[in-house]
Amino acid sequence: DLPTSPHISPYLVYSREAEHAAARCGAHTPRLVTMLLGGNDLCNVCSDGGDVSADEYAAKMRPAFETLAAVPRLVVNVPLHADYTQLAGVDWGFFGNLYCDVLLALVCPCMGNWASDLAVARQRVGEYNGKLVELVAEFNGDAHASTRGQGTTFIVQPFAQHTVFSATHLVSDDCFHPSAAGQELLARGLWNNLLQPAGEKASSVEEGEALLCPTADAALS
Measuring CA to CA, which residue among 219, 160, 214, 220 is closest to residue 189?
160
- Quick check: 115 pLDDT over 80? no
Q: Do strands 153-157 and 31-34 pair parallel, antiparallel, or not at all (unpaired)?
A: unpaired
- Quick check: 22 pLDDT over 60? no
Type of residue found at 204:
S
- Quick check: 125 pLDDT over 70? yes
Give yes or no for a contact between 165 and 174, defined as CB atoms under 8 angstroms apart: no
Which is more confident, 10 or 163?
163
- Quick check: 185 pLDDT over 60? yes
- Whether the CA torsion 169, 172, 174, 176 is positive or negative: it is negative
- Quick check: 24 pLDDT over 60? no
- Quick check: 21 pLDDT over 50? no
Percent of the chain exceeding pLDDT 90 equals 65
- Residue spans per domain, the chain: 16-165
Rounded to 10 degrees, what is the CA torsion of 47, 52, 55, 60?
180
Mean pLDDT, the chain, whole residue set? 85
* 169: phi then psi, degrees, rounded to nearest 5: -75, -10
Residue 160 CB: number of other CB atoms within 10 A? 23
**Which of 108-112, 145-149, 191-195, 208-212 comes out lowest in average pLDDT?**
108-112
Residue 169 is predicted with a pLDDT of 96
